[in-house]
Amino acid sequence: MLKLMRKFFKNEDGATALEYGLIAALIAVAIIGGLTTLGTNLDTMFDNVGAQIAAQDPGTGTGGGTGTGTGTGTGTGG
């Protein structure tokens, strides 16, 4: 029995596997944190770009312009 206990305490395979597992978990947490930050930054950037495009789009503004004109034409649309 004593021999079996010595062998058990001498065996370090489980400790090595545990260390690799902890390293993998730490790397995963770092990747998740980095991607979350990147996603937030990209979301903000696209919101800013969308706002700039909307501000420059002539079809979305308000105005009181007047004009006269005639137009004829045919077309098909879907």
DSSP symbol at 50: H
> Mean pLDDT for the chain?
81
pLDDT of residue 15: 78
Compute the distance between CA of residue 30 and CA of residue 76 in angstroms, rounded to an integer. 55
Is residue 61 scored above 80 in pLDDT? no
pLDDT of residue 70: 62
Place of tokens 């700039």: 52
24 or 63, greater pLDDT: 24
- Tell me the per-residue pLDDT of 39-55, one tens digit each, with 9 for 90 and over: 999 999 999 999 999 89
- Whole-structure pTM over 0.85, yes or no? no
Compute the distance between CA of residue 57 and CA of residue 66 in angstroms, rounded to an integer. 19
